[in-house]
A = this chain, B = another copy of it.
Amino acid sequence: MARLLKRRAPEIGLPPGTLVHIGERKTETAQLSLMEYSPETCREVRPCTVNQCLPTAETKAVRWINLDGIHDLKLVEELGQAFGVHPLVLEDIVNTGQRPKFEDYGDYIFMVVKMLYLDPEHKEIIAEQVSLLLGRGFVLSFQEAPGDVFDIIRERIRQDQGRIRKMGSDYLAYSLMDALLDNYFVVLERFAENIEWVEDHLVERPSPGILQEVYTLKREAVFLRKCAWPLRELFSALERSGSSLVRKETALYLRDLYDHTIQVVDTVEMFRESISGMLDVYLSSASNRMNEVMKVLTIIATIFIPLTFIAGVYGMNLQIPETNWAWSYPAVWAVMLAVAGGMLYYFRKRRWL
């Protein structure tokens, strides 16, 4: 539940545009880092100050400024003012309860996405909010904590792999998005393994514990869906936005992102169907097992009840003629066996056994 509804209480009553950090504080000290590159050069400053991030006049280099730790409101505000960011955008950046979204502010494009991890022990999916600001010649990225899926991009920039050094800030923003989305596939794969594991156990031995696992999977799938679904809209809006910040050659890549998102959403929907099918399998197999138990037990009981009645008859202290006959005992046994055999035959004939 906590993941679904970030406490907003501290924010209530403050004028709009006031920065309040909403969410768990995931790191102690916030750290700003800068990466500046052009086709020829590449420079990293870590940690850096807000002043170091500002563009020196007349450069064609692309600057990527990354902030780990959005709880440091002062730093966020300072950065925001330096790059002319609207207060409402800053408010959204420090509020980790945002829904993935895209907003075009003319001078810059603002995007919020969730970075997903799969906590291997608790089988829970953890989401970290990543905000991206794409401006002319720079990309600002805001994260809740250090550690991300962007190291690949950093390496690619440093070693001048692919075309990234040759392209502009829009391609950098695309690359970051792409890395985030690639990570969704990693999470989906691990999640699929969880589903398969539970599926296998369901067939072997349905137990209430496994049922609990299925419900956990279901809840996680709902969470995944909540994270992935708005991405469709986001990338579709981004592609259609016609913003001058996105060059024509990058637009093609954005269409690719959109395709990937649809694949993610499709897979999540498939998972949901699969999990709800598992629930059906569990319920019907649990009911099958119970029915089997009840059936065998009831059959045993039913065979012995008439026999016990016969024994009871000859246990009566009445003047029963048969009691004096020598062969009555084996005869009674014969009758009893006949009754038991008859019932077993009847059961078998009606396919109850």
The interface of chain A, by Cβ under 8 A from chain B, is: 1, 4-5, 7-9, 11-13, 15-18, 86, 88, 91-92, 97-99, 101, 103, 152, 156, 161-164, 174-175, 178-179, 182-183, 185-186, 188-189, 192, 195-196, 199, 205, 208, 211, 215, 218-219, 222, 226, 252-253, 255-256, 259, 262-263, 266-267, 270, 273-274, 277, 279-281, 283-286, 288, 290-291, 293-295, 297-302, 304-309, 311-326, 328-329, 332, 351-352
Docked-complex contact A284 and B328, CB < 8 angstroms: no
Rounded to whole angstroms, the CA-CA distance of A283 and B9 in the bound complex is 35
Rounded to whole angstroms, the CA-CA distance of A5 and B9 in the bound complex is 32
Chain B neighbourhood of A15, CB < 8 A: 156, 161-164, 175
Docked-complex contact B302 and A302, CB < 8 angstroms: no
Rounded to whole angstroms, the CA-CA distance of A298 and B9 in the bound complex is 52
Docked-complex contact A317 and B316, CB < 8 angstroms: yes
Docked-complex contact B308 and A318, CB < 8 angstroms: no
Partner of A263, one of B99, B293, B315: B99
Chain B neighbourhood of A270, CB < 8 A: 4-5, 222, 226
Docked-complex contact B288 and A196, CB < 8 angstroms: no
Partner of A304, one of B208, B222, B255, B305: B305
Chain B neighbourhood of A196, CB < 8 A: 1
Give the shortest distance, in Å, between A55 (CB) and chain B (any CB): 25
- What are 16 A-B contacts defined by CB distance under 8 Å? A1-B195, A8-B185, A8-B189, A11-B182, A12-B182, A15-B156, A15-B163, A15-B164, A16-B174, A103-B255, A294-B294, A301-B305, A305-B305, A311-B316, A316-B332, A321-B329
Give the shortest distance, in Å, between A113 (CB) and chain B (any CB): 15
The answer to whether residues A218 and B323 also contact, given A302-B297, A306-B300, A315-B316 and a CB cut-off of 8 A, is no
The answer to whether residues A294 and B300 also contact, given A97-B263, A317-B317 and a CB cut-off of 8 A, is no
Rounded to whole angstroms, the CA-CA distance of A4 and B314 in the bound complex is 66
Partner of A318, one of B11, B179, B328: B328
Considering the complex, give the chain B residue whose CB is closest to the CB of A184.
B8
Chain B neighbourhood of A294, CB < 8 A: 290, 294, 298
Docked-complex contact B5 and A267, CB < 8 angstroms: yes
Chain B neighbourhood of A313, CB < 8 A: 311
Docked-complex contact B311 and A319, CB < 8 angstroms: no
Chain B neighbourhood of A295, CB < 8 A: 290, 293
Rounded to whole angstroms, the CA-CA distance of A118 and B192 in the bound complex is 24
Give the shortest distance, in Å, between A164 (CB) and chain B (any CB): 7
Considering the complex, give the chain B residue whose CB is closest to the CB of A193.
B1
Rounded to whole angstroms, the CA-CA distance of A321 and B222 in the bound complex is 70
Chain B neighbourhood of A98, CB < 8 A: 259, 263
Give the shortest distance, in Å, between A221 (CB) and chain B (any CB): 11
Docked-complex contact A323 and B317, CB < 8 angstroms: yes
Partner of A326, one of B185, B274, B319, B352: B319
Partner of A218, one of B277, B300, B351: B277
Rounded to whole angstroms, the CA-CA distance of A88 and B294 in the bound complex is 61
Rounded to whole angstroms, the CA-CA distance of A352 and B9 in the bound complex is 43
Give the shortest distance, in Å, between A134 (CB) and chain B (any CB): 17
Residue of A163, A215, A284 contacting most chain B CB atoms (<10 Å)? A284
Docked-complex contact B307 and A277, CB < 8 angstroms: no
Docked-complex contact B298 and A293, CB < 8 angstroms: yes
